[in-house]
Amino acid sequence: MKNTAAPKTEKITAPKAARARAPAAPKPAASTRETRGAERRETILMAALDEFSARGFESTRLEDVAKRAGIAKGTVYLYFRDKETLFQELVREMLSPVLGGIEATRSADLPVGKLSEILVDLFVREIYETRRKDVIRLMITEGRRFPKLAEFYYREVLSPIFDALRGLLKRASAHGPVPQALIEFPQLIAAPAVIAIIWNGLFESYEPLDVRKMLKAHIDLMLAPRGAL
């Protein structure tokens, strides 16, 4: 055997040294002693989101999170029991508001056309253009190592969303035909949105994806009036 030898492919990850240190936090901002704790907690969560998003759970050093939050390493432990809890509460708290948003649509009674327009807009404004996009990406990339978190996400986020979607579609079907497949596989509705998050996370610098446009195209395809059903 010759060329099976070791020193082959060129290193791919950036060298350790390149690991850009988290920039020291910018503005201290005045605050009452009362709200200080909650604010600080929020600061840590945001710093953690930055770091987890950039390096993944395992590679993230709590010291970097702290530095980015502008605090000392030990301070993180005043707010979160450990790294895992930090990660977990980050995901839970960033996604919980989503549920509220879902509830709001429960009473809606719209034709699919209008409905889909609203959904796309909702996704883009509330998720894709916010940090929640990063949380969803974290869920996707780290979920397998956090089975309980995956279960939470499935039970508390995805299931309600899919239920709501099914409800909306059923009510929408009063205004016109709605493909059965979408009711059976709500994943088909959400798929391009998820793919957009993944794609732009990995390939944006090579070929950015116009999310809004793609989602619009997708909706049009799914719901286009058909000759025969």
- Count CB atoms within 10 A of the CB of residue 161: 18
Q: Choose the contact partner of 126 out of DNA, a second copy, none; CB within 5 to 8 A by kind.
A: none
38 binds DNA (CB under 7 A): no
Work out how close the CB of 113 gets to a second copy at its nearest, in angstroms, rounded to a whole number.
14
> CB of 80 within 8 A of CB of 190?
no
Dig out the tokens for 187 from the structure. 């994943």
DSSP-derived secondary structure for 169-185? HHHHTTTS---HHHHH-
227 binds a second copy (CB under 8 A): yes
| Position among 73, 81, 125, 170 found at the interface with a second copy (CB under 8 A) | 81
Q: What are phi and psi of 31, to 5 degrees?
A: -165, 150
Q: Choose the contact partner of 224 out of DNA, a second copy, none; CB within 5 to 8 A by kind.
A: a second copy
70 binds a second copy (CB under 8 A): no
| Position among 61, 63, 77, 110 found at the interface with a second copy (CB under 8 A) | 77
Q: Which of residues 120-179 bind a second copy (CB under 8 A)?
A: 139-155, 158, 179
Dig out the tokens for 214 from the structure. 């793609």
Alpha-carbon torsion (138, 144, 146, 149), positive or negative = positive
203 binds a second copy (CB under 8 A): yes
46 binds a second copy (CB under 8 A): no
Q: Choose the contact partner of 52 out of DNA, a second copy, none; CB within 5 to 8 A by kind.
A: none
| Position among 10, 12, 15, 16 found at the interface with DNA (CB under 7 A) | 16
Work out how close the CB of 88 gets to a second copy at its nearest, in angstroms, rounded to a whole number.
5
Q: Which of 33, 35, 39, 30 is nearest to 69 (CA)?
A: 39
Altogether, the residues listed in the chain come to a count of 229
Dig out the tokens for 109 from the structure. 């009674």
> CB of 164 within 8 A of CB of 102?
yes
- Residues in touch with DNA (CB under 7 A): 1, 3-5, 16, 33, 36-37, 40, 59-63, 71-75, 77-79, 82-84
